[in-house]
Amino acid sequence: MAKQAASGKVRGSRTGRPVMALLDLLGRRWALRILWELRGEPLTSRGLRTACDEASPTVLQARLTELREAGFVELGDGGGYGLTALGRELCETFMPLHRFAERWRSKSGA
């Protein structure tokens, strides 16, 4: 479990372009999902686990650490994970995805 995120080099950032680093960071299992679940209000680690279909705490913890190092997520004082201002911004970016997903389903079968 390497610790390299946000400190200058994330896996996939070989090109130097920050989008790649971001794309790679978000393209990990549960990363997008975590941001999505945190979009409303902060959740405890166990609450987040429940929200994420009981994903294993190992990955969740790993993603949470990466996301924290990236500055998108933070651990509140009284416990519970929440989005930082930056994380909230990022989440805004994904909001259109919700509407898109609905349209997508109606077009792709189902």
The angle subtended at Cα 80 by Cα 85 and Cα 24, nearest 5°, is 55
User: Out of 3, 7, 78, 79, which residue is the one contacting its own copies (CB under 8 A)?
Assistant: 7
- Nearest distance from C-beta of residue 30 to DNA, angstroms: 6
- Nearest distance from C-beta of residue 5 to its own copies, angstroms: 9
Contact present, 19 and 13 (Cβ < 8 Å): no
Q: Using CB under 8 A as the criterion, which residues of the chain lie in contact with its own copies when the complex forms?
A: 6-8, 12, 14-15, 17-24, 26-33, 36, 53, 70-71, 86, 89-90, 93-94, 96-98, 100-102, 104-105, 107-110
